[in-house]
Amino acid sequence: GWCPLSPTGAQTTQLLVQPPWRPAVLWDRVTLTCQGSGTAGATTWYKDGWHWLKKGPNHIIVSERGTYTCDRPGTGLSPPVIVLNDPLVLQVPGQALLEGDTVTLRCRG
């Protein structure tokens, strides 16, 4: 499933991650999808805080490590998503976790 990185139902831009594990890693062929109001092709993408792609598609396949955000008209800037290229990474499921939840961790390398 998709992984929203801000509260469900909030009237904000959402940046969804597939596969749904955090942190995302390049060797998983990470796809980011920007959801918010506005017309198709109205997404602005940022990488490492810099304007990266204007009037871009709603989804991208990530090919470089970095911190990604997107902007949609009417709902604003998404929370950031960090994509790593580390040889060893400890991952958690992408959904929000609360104290007391049972969680599966993945150590991957």
31 domain residue, yes or no: yes
AA letter at 104: T
Total structural domains within the chain: 1
- Predicted pLDDT at 108: 86
Residues 3 and 22 sit within 8 Å (Cβ to Cβ) = yes
The token pair that represents 30 in the structure block: 């990470």
- The whole domain housing 58 covers 14-96+103-108
- Cα 89 to Cα 80: distance, rounded to the nearest angstrom: 19
Divide the 109 residues of the chain into consecutive groups of 10 and give the mean pLDDT of each group.
50 89 92 84 90 87 95 89 93 84 88
- Predicted pLDDT at 6: 46
- Predicted pLDDT at 30: 95
- In CATH, what number is assigned to the domain containing residue 42? 2.60.40.10
Using alpha carbons, list the distances in angstroms from residue 34 to 58, 65, 87: 5, 18, 27
- Cα 30 to Cα 9: distance, rounded to the nearest angstrom: 24
| Rg of the chain on CA atoms, in Å | 14
9 domain residue, yes or no: no
Count CB neighbours of 109 within 10 A: 9
Report CA torsion sign: 57, 31, 24, 11: positive
33 domain residue, yes or no: yes
